[in-house]
Amino acid sequence: MGSVQQLGDARRGKLAGNIAAFGRALRRAGVPTDAARIALASQAAQLVGVQSRQDLSAAMEAVMVSREQDRLVFRELFDAWFQDPELANKMLAQMLPSSEGKAEPPRRRPRVREALAAPVAPKLAAQDDKEVQFDAAMTASERSRLHHADFNALGAGEYRLVERLAREIALPVPTLPARRLRIAGVGRAHSRMHWPGVLHEAGRTGGELLWLPRLTQRQQPLPLLVLVDVSGSMERYARLLLAFLHAATRRAGRRDVFAFGTHLTDLTPAFKLADTDEMLLAAGAAIDDFAGGTRLGESLAQLRTRQARRLIGRRTLLLVISDGLDTGEPALLEDGLLWLKRHSRRLLWLNPLLRFEGYAPLARGAAMLHRHADAMLAVHNLHALEQLARSLAALMKTTTNGAR
């Protein structure tokens, strides 16, 4: 197995320590890994041995990874980690300024680079519970503080941690009955008989009906259109909320995402990428007016003339993420908002400025957004993002029985 064989026996020695340290590196990379999974990985290493690097990787992945989006991170980190027990120090050396002609370090995902950047030597594998607790989920008081901390007030390390925690928050998109029907389950109420299915079942059982197939309406998620403000005042919120939406709406139906500052940028191709880090890299490359001004009216005019088909009838759920500090023409903004209202089911304004107690939308753009939006919701911390799903369900409840 090459270099992995040099790491020692799976039950003791270097390999056991490296598996424990590798588990902590996975946690730093945002992969949920606890002591039980690390113990299972050690047992898996004993079962498959170290003769085949591929078999060892597959066995450890089976017990340490539970989410599809973490598999590529695991494989990349595994390949890097078990090349050399002193890999972390070498990676740090590669990141330092070097003489001309030195080989560039391999390009890795941001989560993998951050996990490898921390100095973790095999001799430090058996660390105390305090460090493991902090590495996994911090203390309860620290976690509670970050849970209610404004994104704009976080330090660099806290910001990266909160961004990873935001990816764990679910955002179920409301559903509506579709026009098409499907076979209902046994005992399903409010369904009608599926007579072709009844005859088919009778033919299979010699005329004896064991169950009566019924039809019911399919449930489909509402089409989602997201407009994210990437102006200077939204700089600290934009990246984190993009990461949250990418992970939270992964299983949604149709979703179209645009960034707006001084003009409109289509981020839908970036959101089709499975990995959130890759999505952020693609979005960063696509946005050329990041941290500039805010001209929502002009952006809506571009959406109307070039991307109007992204709004599906009057079923689309529209999320506008902005602080409302618009610097464009008020008439153009109002015209765009009225057009959105006519072509969407609900227009929801997600406003980070709701972090201020007693906030009132007094700015010109904010007042206009408040006038035309169906609701204004907070998105300034993790607690607000968790409340967002419940708020969406409550707002859509009055219209789920039929089209507006």
Predicted local distance difference test score (pLDDT) of residue 188: 55
pLDDT in tens, 128-141: 333 333 344 455 66
Whether residue 299 has pLDDT greater than 90: yes
pLDDT in tens, 10-35: 444 567 788 888 888 888 777 888 88
25-47 core/surface letters (b: 16 or more CB in 10 A; e: else): bbbbbbbbbeeebbeebbebbee
Higher pLDDT, residue 144 or 178? 144
Q: Tokens 């990995």 appear where? A: 275
Predicted local distance difference test score (pLDDT) of residue 67: 81
Predicted local distance difference test score (pLDDT) of residue 132: 33
Predicted local distance difference test score (pLDDT) of residue 12: 45
List the structure tokens of 273: 């990428």
The answer to whether 191 touches 240, Cβ cutoff 8 Å, is: no
Q: Is pTM beyond 0.75 here?
A: no
Predicted local distance difference test score (pLDDT) of residue 109: 64
Predicted local distance difference test score (pLDDT) of residue 108: 63
Report the sign of the C-alpha dihedral through residues 382, 285, 293, 342, in that order: negative
- Partners of 318 in the β-ladder: 225, 347
Least confident segment among 195-204, 223-232, 305-314: 195-204
Cα separation, 75 vs 7, in Å, equals 18
Cα separation, 281 vs 30, in Å, equals 17
Higher pLDDT, residue 75 or 187? 75
Whether residue 155 has pLDDT greater than 90: no
Longest dimension (CA), the chain: 83
Higher pLDDT, residue 329 or 86? 329
Higher pLDDT, residue 286 or 390? 286
Higher pLDDT, residue 191 or 138? 191
> Per-residue confidence at 270, pLDDT binned at 50, 70, 90?
very high
Question: 301: which residues sit within 8 A by CB, 6+ positions away?
Answer: 332, 335, 336
Q: Kindly report the average pLDDT of the chain as a whole number.
A: 78
**Start-end of CATH 3.40.50.410 domains in the chain:** 222-399
Cα separation, 140 vs 192, in Å, equals 52
Residue type, 340: L
pLDDT in tens, 211-253: 778 877 777 778 899 999 999 889 889 999 999 999 988 877 7
pLDDT > 90 fraction of the chain, expressed in percent and rounded: 28
Report the topology of domain 222-399: Rossmann fold (3.40.50)
For 384, phi and psi rounded to 5 degrees? -65, -35
